[in-house]
Structure 1
């Protein structure tokens, strides 16, 4: 016998007994037994089904089944494909007082593994040794057997670790949904698929803290989020997060953060913005986020805030894992995030408190005020809005004196596979139709009362025939390709706005923005375009359109 060095396998002696290569053929079930040995069955090719002790298991190439002595099992092929196997028999001698062998000697016990290609190579090596009559030579078959059992033990260890980690993750996910309720250890054990006794150690090993510690952490994190929102009473927050009263919440809060809730509320905070609209709000208030979701236009427009040390501007192309890593490094006091649930929200909450501001039924002005209250800059927001309203009123007065006063103006967005006409909300529609009171093309919102836009074909656009047309083209190859096809169509040239030089290409990033900084920029660009148009009307010079970016 060959004894492997300590630590690679349970302390036992192993010896090769035999190896063969059974073949299961279609329509011919194959009966096998491990006899008085333990055995390993490795699938070298094909696909089939294994029946053992009333349990049916699908077998595929590379899979491995392990049995104790006296095990009996049946193999059948699926479809018309034969099942090629290697069946390895070995004897186990336990060393008294040491660990148990890899597979217990019980005929009804079986373990299925998805092995590596190296296991198949070792099986073929054993078959070759037998063919050369070298299976029982010193350091022959038993040497290969030890290597094979060692690899199987590694497969088991990795599988067990993965199962343990998966069980711990299920418990954590459950706690993140039910932290405000009493922690039921029996229920957690069911969720994990482990015993109540094993559960605490499993969770601590995975996350470095007890279940109670983690639950308190979740409650305090949620309390921080609620404290950031104006107008919330501490007693209400205590009930919402699962504490009996505000006094117990205050005690736990100070233990966890080192601050009383009232001090936390007053303390100046740093922010990360994971939504373009939040970034627009923050930069309009003169705040540089530690991490900012920002497009190229926004980064160019606010370099003093978004391109300085301490602020990282990112875009939607960043993978979530990279965002998490960056946020972990930046360590903001709070993360501004769109209102939704799911794994992404849970992952962000492990980094910092997450403030979710609702979008449904909330206009950009109200959104701006909420962010300004959150950051302690409501007076600055009100001052900004007052200045903007003065500019908007001046713009309305100017529009009354220009030819555009009674004209219609459309907002066309050309993107991958779509031509979209906006009539509310984004892409400057709030500015044009709500703030300035300009006229949309006839029937622009027909059948779309509950939406912000509708898809439009070129024939439909020619029927609407707006006097002015704002055109925002997606900065992608497919978006530019559709724009080119659109503008090469004779119907495009027939549009009044095109013939009169009143079709204006604009930066889609700027015009899609639905926040104060973007809407202010949209107002400035719109008034410049219409002023030039009015000047050209007065001069009698022929108008020419802006070149479109292809």
Structure 2
């Protein structure tokens, strides 16, 4: 196993106070990093002269032949640093990735200035400030160099630029900087960018900032001045003016108005329905459609629609907010229509998603009352289980299709959020050891289901084809299956309601609770 490598600065100097000559410079370090935040000048590295200007970054091994002449107009810092590792010194991975042509982001330049300040004026109350700032700056530099190498290898410069903008939108980005990142002319950048996004570069930055502001307003806004600084403006009044330019309303008016909501995932549609809100458009699961009548013109069949069809359908209802899971391709495409509130899949429980959606819809009291009622039902269900089975023990949930079986953790639902989160059952040790908490589910052959013993075995879905049912029948007749304690004690529950158990939302969860309690106490 390789030991981790740590890099520590040995010397940090301002460029306009520095003279470097290869003959007089003692090398007690492995790497050099040069960052320019103002002025212009030159440096010779291995007898090659490099032009330096604002935003230039240069990284090279400490063994390089160097000459930096006195240049009072050149502002920035010179960093000499080494690796902490036994044996031969390790050169920094930045040395082969950065060149003076890379434009440093505002964040990197700010980190560089803070680093010099912490180095030159140590604060005894913050003894680790230099290490923290230096490590953060190296990490940010490496991420930017990675994006640049990805761009050069993939050729899809627009994707890299859009990703960069998405993470640096609150900085002072310019068209020239982005064209340099893409390694194209500013004119070509503008033509391609507008063709792909439908907007100029400056209009896109404005839209992205205002959408981010809307997201923050909808999910818990700081005061207007703090929000302005957060998204890249200097004052709240300027943000308010730009906000009204894009949205047509002031931030205060936008927050207070009833929202026209579009939900692109059936779990989020169900959360809205639990709050007695019918979205302007919503994706509905088969189970939700069976228990909740909604006019056809309010339904969105996302699975069968292209991105352009989704855009057209959403645009037709003029939404104020769109709700979807994160990392979905359509989210960026819908940016011109409304802010997209992204809820991370598998990272938020159904309760957290429900509460977040209630905040967006201004229905927090209703959500709290709903959850209180659900918790009362769970308490009564627990009392019934105490009488019926006593100690809970372990439980496993299987969903079986034509060839494969899947078991789940509480983060993937399928009733596990009820069993493990509300009713006190535990997942069996074998699936815990296989890392189900990280992956969310485990895949196995139908025959291998018998290799996962548990005190209670629940099967929420079974195959529909003759071949799949035959394989399941063979499982049920196998010696390994029949030897399981849960089978011998009649604690296998064939529920076969995959449409219901597929939901991970308030309505589905409450219905799953009722089905599970009937099965476990019958």
| Residue 319 (structure 2) aligns with | 332
Q: 1:207 to 1:272 in 2, by over 3 A?
A: closer
Matches within 5 A, 1:133-144: none
- Unmatched 5+ residue regions in structure 2? 1-155
| Residue 429 (structure 1) aligns with | 416
| Residue 13 (structure 2) aligns with | none
After superposition, what is the alpha-carbon deviation per residue over 1:445-483, rounded to whole angstroms, capped at 9, x for unaligned? Answer: 234363344345677654654454211226675866754
Q: Is the Cα–Cα contact under 8 Å of residues 275 and 337 in structure 1 kept in the other structure? A: yes
Q: 1:176 to 1:466 in 2, by over 3 A?
A: closer
After superposition, what is the alpha-carbon deviation per residue over 1:167-219, rounded to whole angstroms, capped at 9, x for unaligned? Answer: 99997777556543334232355567765567767766877754433432332
| Residue 340 (structure 2) aligns with | 354
Query: Does 2:253 match 1:267?
Result: no
Q: Is the Cα–Cα contact under 8 Å of residues 295 and 315 in structure 1 kept in the other structure? A: no
For 2:335 and 2:450, locate their aligned partners in 1 and report how far apart those are by CA, in whole Å.
50
Matches within 5 A, 1:57-136: none
SS at match of 2:377: helix
For 1:427 and 1:453, locate their aligned partners in 2 and report how far apart those are by CA, in whole Å.
10
The Cα shift of 1:489 comes to 4.4
Q: 1:386 to 1:198 in 2, by over 3 A?
A: closer
| Residue 454 (structure 1) aligns with | 442
* Paired residues, number: 363
- Whichever of the two has the greater Rg, that structure is 1
1:292 to 282, 296, 306: 282
Matches within 5 A, 1:128-277: 178-190=168-180, 196=186, 210-277=200-267
Query: Does 2:392 match 1:402?
Result: no
Q: 1:206 to 1:471 in 2, by over 3 A?
A: closer
| Residue 116 (structure 1) aligns with | none
Query: Does 2:401 match 1:411?
Result: no
Query: Does 2:366 match 1:380?
Result: yes
SS at match of 2:437: coil
- Unmatched 5+ residue regions in structure 1? 1-165, 534-550
2:500 to 510, 516, 522: 510
Q: Is the Cα–Cα contact under 8 Å of residues 408 and 436 in structure 2 kept in the other structure? A: no
For 1:298 and 1:512, locate their aligned partners in 2 and report how far apart those are by CA, in whole Å.
11
For 1:481 and 1:516, locate their aligned partners in 2 and report how far apart those are by CA, in whole Å.
35
| Residue 30 (structure 1) aligns with | none
Query: Does 2:303 match 1:316?
Result: yes
| Residue 91 (structure 2) aligns with | none
Q: Is the Cα–Cα contact under 8 Å of residues 228 and 374 in structure 1 kept in the other structure? A: yes
SS at match of 2:433: coil
After superposition, what is the alpha-carbon deviation per residue over 1:392-447, rounded to whole angstroms, capped at 9, x for unaligned? Answer: 11111111111465565431122364323335332111211221113555645234
The Cα shift of 1:506 comes to 2.7
For 2:199 and 2:430, locate their aligned partners in 1 and report how far apart those are by CA, in whole Å.
61
For 2:196 and 2:463, locate their aligned partners in 1 and report how far apart those are by CA, in whole Å.
44
Give the TM-score normalised by structure 2.
0.60
Q: 1:443 to 1:168 in 2, by over 3 A?
A: closer
For 1:317 and 1:491, locate their aligned partners in 2 and report how far apart those are by CA, in whole Å.
42
The Cα shift of 1:229 comes to 1.4
Query: Does 2:372 match 1:391?
Result: no
Q: 1:212 to 1:388 in 2, by over 3 A?
A: same
| Residue 528 (structure 1) aligns with | 518
The Cα shift of 1:355 comes to 0.7
Q: Is the Cα–Cα contact under 8 Å of residues 218 and 359 in structure 2 kept in the other structure? A: no
For 1:375 and 1:200, locate their aligned partners in 2 and report how far apart those are by CA, in whole Å.
38
Q: 1:482 to 1:184 in 2, by over 3 A?
A: farther
For 2:387 and 2:287, locate their aligned partners in 1 and report how far apart those are by CA, in whole Å.
31
For 2:307 and 2:506, locate their aligned partners in 1 and report how far apart those are by CA, in whole Å.
27
Q: Is the Cα–Cα contact under 8 Å of residues 276 and 295 in structure 1 kept in the other structure? A: yes
Q: 1:481 to 1:270 in 2, by over 3 A?
A: farther
Q: 1:204 to 1:469 in 2, by over 3 A?
A: closer
For 2:384 and 2:472, locate their aligned partners in 1 and report how far apart those are by CA, in whole Å.
32
SS at match of 1:419: strand
The Cα shift of 1:267 comes to 0.9
Taking only aligned residues, the RMSD between alpha carbons, in angstroms, comes to 3.5
The Cα shift of 1:347 comes to 0.7
Q: 1:485 to 1:239 in 2, by over 3 A?
A: farther
SS at match of 2:324: strand
For 2:227 and 2:194, locate their aligned partners in 1 and report how far apart those are by CA, in whole Å.
28
For 1:167 and 1:233, locate their aligned partners in 2 and report how far apart those are by CA, in whole Å.
37
